[in-house]
């Protein structure tokens, strides 16, 4: 019933009846407009602008534990040469996911661990003076 209760609304809910009738009329107008024009009255044009970023951030990978791949998200606040690398528990570099100048914004990289053994690994983001390391687990 479009969110309206069933029954004798006029006598059971006299205070709400007028409000429901107005809502019903508005919904009918919206539906008729959509049916005749193919456009919804609620939708407005949205233009994407630059994302304002005020901090560096290295997110926890997802999923974790993972098999065979995982997503790593990070945010940089200013144009910087950025490095994102993966290391094993002995500190040996096993993958380089980012090694380039990046503009401010949010990024996501995928680490594919299909050719690595199960275990604990670390990923480190270095951008300008910001450095952060997080741990993740490959479980095959």
Say yes or no: 123 and 65 in one domain.
yes
Say yes or no: 76 and 134 in one domain.
yes
Say yes or no: 70 and 108 in one domain.
yes
Say yes or no: 65 and 41 in one domain.
no
Say yes or no: 87 and 116 in one domain.
yes
Say yes or no: 40 and 100 in one domain.
no
Residue 52 within a domain: no
Q: With 60 as the cut, is the pLDDT of residue 2 above it? A: no
Structurally, the chain folds into a number of domains equal to 2
What CATH number does residue 94 fall under? 2.60.40.1930
Q: With 70 as the cut, is the pLDDT of residue 28 above it? A: yes
Residue 77 CA from chain centroid, whole number: 18
**Cα torsion angle, 27, 33, 36, 37, sign:** negative
Say yes or no: 41 and 61 in one domain.
no
Say yes or no: 42 and 107 in one domain.
no
Say yes or no: 61 and 112 in one domain.
yes
Q: Mean pLDDT across the chain, nearest whole number? A: 84
Mean pLDDT of 53-78: 91
Residue 84 within a domain: yes
Say yes or no: 34 and 100 in one domain.
no
DSSP 59-111: PPPBSSSBSSEEEEEEEESS-EEEEEEEEETTS-EEEEEEEEEE-SEEEEEEE
Residue 23 within a domain: yes
Distance CA 12, CA 16 (A): 9
Is 110 in contact with 71 (CB distance < 8 Å)? yes
Structural domain of residue 80, as residue ranges?
57-138
pLDDT band at 32 (very low <50, low <70, confident <90, very high): confident
Q: Does the reported pTM lie above 0.75?
A: no
């Amino acid at each position: 019933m479009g969110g309206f209760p069933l029954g004798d609304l006029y006598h059971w809910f006299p205070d709400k009846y007028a409000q429901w009738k107005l809502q019903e009329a508005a919904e009918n107008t919206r539906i008729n407009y959509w049916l005749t024009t193919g456009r919804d009255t609620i939708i407005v044009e949205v233009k994407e602008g630059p994302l304002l970023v005020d901090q560096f951030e290295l997110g926890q990978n997802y999923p974790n534990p993972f098999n065979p791949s995982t997503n790593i998200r990070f945010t940089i606040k200013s144009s910087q040469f950025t490095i994102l690398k993966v290391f094993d528990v002995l500190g040996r570099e096993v993958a380089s996911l980012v090694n380039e100048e990046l503009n401010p914004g949010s990024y996501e990289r995928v680490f594919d661990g299909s050719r690595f053994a199960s275990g604990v690994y670390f990923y480190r983001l270095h951008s300008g003076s910001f450095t952060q390391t997080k741990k993740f687990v490959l479980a095959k």
